[in-house]
Structure 1
Amino acid sequence: MSLDIQMASMLASAVMGLWLGSSLDTYERVLGKRKAFRWTRALNDFLFWVAQGLIYFGVLLYVNNGEVRFYLFLAVLFGYAAYRALFERTYRRFLETLLRIISGIYQFLVRFTYVVFINPTKGLLKLVVHLGMILVIAIWGILSFFLKWTFWPIFKLIKFADDKSGQPFKKQRLKIAALGRSLGHIFNKFRKKP
């Protein structure tokens, strides 16, 4: 490995140390500090460190064909220490501001979605349901009016025949009347709701 490649590798490793510090702060800020052991957090930690290792190896692969030397790890440690000493406070303030902006944009998009899409859709569905109920009530009223005047003579004839013959179908007629009353009662309950 030539001197130029060694210097580029050390510089890339120091920058990766800075990257490691900032990504670790971001990771801890987004997921929160660890309070107790959880398998999901352990899996996230493992995947985080695997991703960081792959990113570092990708940088080394680009800079020096993936040769790993001990002094490169010292350069990463130097970059991490430089981040903690010089850039940590500034980056954390920047991260908090960025997260507040992202949170504000997210809340705006949620409110916008509710105002533009969800609330009008709910209102439209309520309107369709109310119009449907008005239509059903109107059809039921017209139908019951016609049925009442159509079958009224038949019921009178049956009642007259029943009275003259000693009421042999009284039980059946009472059951049909009870069924009609219960259906009318159920319909009236739905009619009163809107």
Structure 2
Amino acid sequence: MNLHTQWLTLLWMFACGGILGIAFDSYRVVSGQFRFPRWSIHIFDLLYWLAASLFVFRALYHVNQGELRFYVFLGLFIGVWIYFLFLSVLTERFMVMLIKVVKWFYGVMVRITQLFIITPLLWILRLVKWLLGLIWIVLLFLGRITLSPIWRLVVWVSRPIVKKLRIPDRLARIRDKTIKLWKSWTRWLFKD
């Protein structure tokens, strides 16, 4: 390996060290902001180090066909060190600002969805419920008017029979449950 390749490898490792620092700070800020479960932090750490290793060895293979020398580690260390001295605070601030922008954008999208999709659907459902209630009231009114004479006749004819025959308890319970169900259904239908 000639001197040019060695210097090129060292510069690439400086860059890789800086990129690893940026990735680590970004990962640290994101995990701090979103508060992942404790058990998942270990998995994310492992994934970070696997990705970092693959990235470094891919860059090393690109520069000098994967020859591992002392100056490779020296370049990585110096790149990370320079990054943490000068750029770490800027990266953290940028990531916090980026997360705030993403959260704001998400909130705006949720609000727009609620305003233009969910609220109109709720109004349409209320309108349909109101129309069904109105139709039901009209049907009940028309039914009372048309069936009132027949119902009075049925009550008049069956009154002596009902007085002579006592309603069994089972039928009385069924009648009471039916009345209770009817009242709860009409209460639900006409409430706002």
Once the two structures are TM-superposed, the CA of residue 52 in structure 1 deviates from its matched residue by 1.2
CA contact (8 A) 1:137 1:191 kept: no
Regions of 4+ moved over 6 Å:
none
Once the two structures are TM-superposed, the CA of residue 170 in structure 1 deviates from its matched residue by 4.1
CA deviations on 1:97-138 (whole Å, 9 max, x unpaired) are 322322222222222222122222222222222222332333
Once the two structures are TM-superposed, the CA of residue 30 in structure 1 deviates from its matched residue by 1.0
CA contact (8 A) 1:10 1:72 kept: yes
CA deviations on 1:35-75 (whole Å, 9 max, x unpaired) are 9x932211111111111111212222322333322211110
Q: Secondary structure at the match of 1:68?
A: coil
Question: Paired residues, what number?
Answer: 187
CA contact (8 A) 1:17 1:75 kept: yes
Shift of the 127–56 alpha-carbon distance from structure 1 to 2, 3 Å rule, reads farther
Matches within 5 A, 1:1-150: 1-32=1-32, 38-150=38-150
Shift of the 97–39 alpha-carbon distance from structure 1 to 2, 3 Å rule, reads closer
**Aligned: 1:189 with 2:191:** no
5+ residue gaps, structure 1, are none
CA-based RMSD of the aligned residues comes to: 3.0
Q: What TM-score do you get using the length of structure 2 for normalisation?
A: 0.80
Q: What TM-score do you get using the length of structure 1 for normalisation?
A: 0.79
Once the two structures are TM-superposed, the CA of residue 141 in structure 1 deviates from its matched residue by 3.1
CA distance in 1 between counterparts of 2:113 and 2:53 reads 39
Identity %: 27
Shift of the 133–68 alpha-carbon distance from structure 1 to 2, 3 Å rule, reads farther
Q: Secondary structure at the match of 2:119?
A: helix
Q: Secondary structure at the match of 1:66?
A: coil
Q: Secondary structure at the match of 1:171?
A: coil
Q: Which amino acid aligns with 1:162?
A: I
Shift of the 75–143 alpha-carbon distance from structure 1 to 2, 3 Å rule, reads same
CA contact (8 A) 2:18 2:83 kept: yes
